[in-house]
Structure 1
Amino acid sequence: MQENNLLLLTDEQMRTFITNGCLLLKTDFSAEFHANLLEQLNTVYTEEGNPGNNLLPRIRDLQKVFDHPVVTGALTSVLGPNYMMHAHRHGHFNASDKAGGWHKDSYWGYDRMRNHHPNWAMIMYFPQDTPVELGPTGILPGTQNHQSRNFESSEQAGEVLANGEAGTFALIHYDIWHRSTPNILGQPRYMLKFEFMRTEMPQQPSWNNQERAWKRPTNLLAPIAEHDLMWEETWNWLSGEIGSLAETASPDAEHIQELASQLAGFEPTAINAAYDLARRGQLGIEALLKGLNSDNEQVSRVSAYGLSVAGSGAVKGLTAALTSENKDIVVRAVFALGELRGLAAEAAPALVKLFEHPAEEVRIAVVDALGFVDRPSDEIVASLAKALQDANAQVRFMASLSLSRLGASAEAAVPQLEVALDDENRYVRAHAAESLHYIGTERAKNTLIKYLLNSRWCPTTTKVNAFYP
């Protein structure tokens, strides 16, 4: 779709997404379109069951949803141009009169450190009219950056319900807390969930940006905690700035000590303290490095988030932390260096060495972080290509995702990606194909076309319709 057809988000919508972690939007398809979509879903679910990752090719009209200017515009605004539709997708069918449990989605059953910056997003699309009584998805605004559940009930947390007419969809930060709500009507309720990933780091605003300076949205729904520094930093990051908090506040030693003491407290308060320390120069960075090396899991984790936005002054200490005997500390240091991108270029050789680390959690973090390097070296590309042969499946599929972020500069990895197309893991295969697409050279395209032709899947062939018409 051409860029001028995109219905990009406004500044106010982006501010709302940054703070609340969710937006409710709507396509303008006809009632007939959604009736036909529902008929296809009912037929497939009745005759074949949930098609899982084959949802898109099996329900052919569904592609029109993800080509719609409202959808493409929203995703481009949040994830930048050339975002990737992830291979994992799922059609949720809710016929239960019981509420589902609050949860954050896993990364396809695997583990990784969650992003504060919106590198991932989800769309939850409702193809039928979905009143509250039909059990729409419930979303906890503002909880996308909280590891723990800082609420006791949906009423206290200000739950947002994704109810509305057919064509309504929720655009959510990948890591937000959500659940299914009770369907008391007993009628079929579908929610079609698709995941999306950023493949290019922000260089400038990708939404309809008219006002450069950050300000709070008028529709602030985050009742648990307010994170002004984090929100402003995210706005700046989405505008192409890295380390925008660095050295923007006084390095007052007494105040830094007080902030450091808050890292072990209520998680939202601890996050705010970490971001505040990130802007207080080297003394703040030293307090965060001490926190990173703490035995307290929360202190170490929130300190890593602070270091990830503290600018180039944090690189030396983070690089030193890569030698820690505690693999969890190493993982968090790797994450922070990846978030610092080009500012952490000097740490790249130390990161590459960690490909030999015995802990798979460390190798997973490394392959993810190296995909954020602004200027990839031949050594990084070679290391990611080698990681495609790692014994751990998540190392392999995260390596291919990182190669997709490097574009044409990763062409040397094409032979290893060709081998990965036959991997036993479905996501390694899918990500390898995506990487070939984003590398985009003639060699990569020829490899991809051959693979797609050999694996062609017919969306109309079923057990009751094997051959004709």
Structure 2
Amino acid sequence: MENGLRLLTDAQMRQFLTEGYVLLKTDFPESFHRRLVEQLSDVYRTEGNPGNNLLPRVRELQKVFDHPVVKGALTSVLGPDYSMHAHRHGHYNNSPKPGGWHKDSYWGYSRMRNHRPWWAMIMYFPQDTPVELGPTGIMPGTQCYESRTFASDESEGEVTAAGAAGTFALIHYDIWHRSTANVAGRERFMLKFEFMRTQAPTGPSWDNRDPVWRSPSAIEAPLHAHEAMWRDAWRWLMGRDEAADAVDGGGADVAALLERLRSADAAERTLAADRLALLGPAAAAAGAVPALAGALADAFEPAALNAAYGLARMGDAGVAALLAALGGDAPAVSRCAAYGLAVAGEAALGGLLAALASDRDETAARAAFALGEQRAAAASAPAVRALAALLERPSERLRQAAVDALGNVGAYRGDAAADAGVAALARALRDADVQVRFMAGLALAKWGARAEAAVPALVEALDDDNRYVRAHAAEALYYIGTPNAKEALLDFLRGSRWCPTTTPASTFYP
């Protein structure tokens, strides 16, 4: 426990990285949850869903997010300066039919999803929620898959967040999940809140006792082997550079692994690609690069991702194969290549900078994503300036990717071309595209006090027509934290004062 927070253990962090979730529970007294459910029931019955105003409308709810178990879990995964996003949703489930499997969008918009934990979500259950009441269902290990890898809606391996009042699921933002059937005939609330990392990790923020990555004791469906991916995330969370050391293959038969890479069995191909990835240069020397480059087009996404992570560990030849795939015609292959380049370290920097100049917008956008993941790019003035220059391009998709990447550059706390990065993001607050504008606010929050020059543009953005542009601008002012930023934020909040007990039924008194 640190500063009263109940941080996650090494075992819990390993579970989060491999399976994409952990289930936890607060220790509030029964009376707390009873009052909370009474408030929720009254609000939903008399006013409907309060939407993003859920937190101020239900006063007791803030205590949940101040609880040491909740704060400790979020600190462990996202670092101590995480931000609560303005989108909140109180899910009311009284349906006897399960919902559909899905990944959440980004508030109605799309972006390239992060494998590393930049985002997380909490799903909190304020009432006892047995399976019959329809808790959230989670498909473990699917957080890094764009495609659905399980055939049946009722696939084995589904985990539910069933439990006593105060149970919550801390999930990777991008995991596949659904609501399950409520066959109990009683109301069920699930309170969904989203959180963002504002600083790249410089060291472990959980209760770390063992710095060594430990593989799961067993990998069973729906989980697939992603050792290279998991090791990268662990190393990143420990604050280490992207460059990965190859593991001792113990005399592994590379030829046999290459043969298994051509298997008709998707799980077998996935495992073979992962084993080759772990061997790194030794596998490259035995001819694995062309085979893994071909595997980027595997129809089974877990195998293709392992191929990308493997090529990232195979030096210049692997990086060259990834760069070639990045600029190719197949969107799924290009996307996988971007994930590989994101973890390839400084060896990929020059090629990614060149890819930013591509006349193919999707290629340049994915290159921007990969650069935004890299510490090396954050320390490179040419990279920061090149990303800033993308905001002058006509493609909305490309400008969105550039803003996102510049935010991560700020999170790495690099000083390279900081003025250019902040100035570009300040201009982006006035972009014609609303997603560029609201992502610019989130991006500036990651720059902290170094974004002081953007305060006037952020103040202007507080009057934007879009609720998320306004909310993100306010959040950026909070994280900038200079006297000018604080004064502007307080002026905005005073004019936006919210009274949680002022309702159509109680307008003035008491």
TM-score, L = length of structure 2: 0.90
C-alpha root-mean-square deviation of aligned residues, in Å?
1.4
CA contact (8 A) 1:275 1:305 kept: yes
Secondary structure of 1:4's counterpart equals: coil
Specify the alignment match of 2:402 in structure 1.
Answer: 366
Specify the alignment match of 1:263 in structure 2.
Answer: 296
1:335 and 2:364 matched: no
Specify the alignment match of 1:101 in structure 2.
Answer: 100
- Cα distance in 1 between the residues matched to 2:314 and 2:443: 32
Specify the alignment match of 2:38 in structure 1.
Answer: 39
- Cα distance in 1 between the residues matched to 2:496 and 2:48: 22
CA contact (8 A) 2:346 2:376 kept: no
**Which of 265, 273, 282 is 2:316 aligned to?**
282
**Which of 397, 406, 410 is 2:438 aligned to?**
397
- Cα distance in 1 between the residues matched to 2:507 and 2:105: 36
1:171 and 2:166 matched: no
Deviates more, 1:105-114 or 1:2-11: 2-11
Specify the alignment match of 1:463 in structure 2.
Answer: 504
1:294 and 2:293 matched: no
1:353 and 2:389 matched: yes
Pairing of 1:24-63 with structure 2 (within 5 A): 24-63=23-62
Deviation at 1:457, TM superposition (A): 1.1
One-letter code of the match for 2:440? A
Residue correspondences, number? 468
CA contact (8 A) 2:455 2:477 kept: yes
Aligned CA distance change for structure 1 residues 313 and 342 (closer, same or farther; 3 Å):
closer
CA contact (8 A) 1:79 1:197 kept: yes
CA contact (8 A) 2:406 2:421 kept: yes
Aligned CA distance change for structure 1 residues 194 and 93 (closer, same or farther; 3 Å):
same
Deviation at 1:252, TM superposition (A): 2.0
Deviates more, 1:444-453 or 1:366-375: 366-375
Deviation at 1:351, TM superposition (A): 1.2
- Cα distance in 1 between the residues matched to 2:505 and 2:321: 65
Deviation at 1:347, TM superposition (A): 1.4
- Cα distance in 2 between the residues matched to 1:253 and 1:440: 54
Pairing of 1:91-170 with structure 2 (within 5 A): 91-170=90-169
- Cα distance in 1 between the residues matched to 2:405 and 2:306: 24
- Cα distance in 2 between the residues matched to 1:246 and 1:336: 20
One-letter code of the match for 2:160? L
Specify the alignment match of 1:187 in structure 2.
Answer: 186
Deviation at 1:366, TM superposition (A): 0.5
One-letter code of the match for 1:466? T
1:416 and 2:457 matched: yes
One-letter code of the match for 1:309? V
- Cα distance in 2 between the residues matched to 1:128 and 1:219: 33
One-letter code of the match for 2:188? R
One-letter code of the match for 1:50? N
- Cα distance in 1 between the residues matched to 2:163 and 2:365: 41
Specify the alignment match of 1:453 in structure 2.
Answer: 494
One-letter code of the match for 2:346? S
CA contact (8 A) 2:377 2:383 kept: no
Aligned CA distance change for structure 1 residues 226 and 54 (closer, same or farther; 3 Å):
same
Specify the alignment match of 1:312 in structure 2.
Answer: 346
- Cα distance in 1 between the residues matched to 2:202 and 2:219: 27
Secondary structure of 1:24's counterpart equals: strand
Deviation at 1:226, TM superposition (A): 1.3
Deviation at 1:224, TM superposition (A): 4.1
Aligned CA distance change for structure 1 residues 426 and 188 (closer, same or farther; 3 Å):
same
Specify the alignment match of 2:287 in structure 1.
Answer: 254
CA contact (8 A) 2:126 2:189 kept: yes
- Cα distance in 1 between the residues matched to 2:37 and 2:219: 34
- Provide, for residues 137-157 of structure 1, a one-character-per-residue CA deviation record: whole Å limited to 9, x for no partner: 000000000000010124434
Secondary structure of 2:457's counterpart equals: helix
Secondary structure of 2:296's counterpart equals: helix
- Cα distance in 2 between the residues matched to 1:200 and 1:293: 30
CA contact (8 A) 2:369 2:405 kept: yes
Aligned CA distance change for structure 1 residues 221 and 409 (closer, same or farther; 3 Å):
farther
Deviation at 1:343, TM superposition (A): 3.8
CA contact (8 A) 1:119 1:197 kept: yes
Secondary structure of 2:168's counterpart equals: strand
Secondary structure of 1:42's counterpart equals: helix
- Provide, for residues 147-180 of structure 1, a one-character-per-residue CA deviation record: whole Å limited to 9, x for no partner: 0001012443410001000000000000000000
Aligned CA distance change for structure 1 residues 128 and 91 (closer, same or farther; 3 Å):
same
One-letter code of the match for 1:249? P
Deviation at 1:62, TM superposition (A): 0.4
CA contact (8 A) 2:139 2:222 kept: no
TM-score, L = length of structure 1: 0.97
- Cα distance in 1 between the residues matched to 2:217 and 2:313: 26
- Cα distance in 2 between the residues matched to 1:322 and 1:89: 35
Secondary structure of 1:156's counterpart equals: coil
Highest RCO, 1 vs 2 (Cα 8 Å, sep ≥ 6):
1
- Cα distance in 2 between the residues matched to 1:203 and 1:105: 28
CA contact (8 A) 1:151 1:157 kept: no
1:385 and 2:439 matched: no
Aligned CA distance change for structure 1 residues 219 and 29 (closer, same or farther; 3 Å):
farther
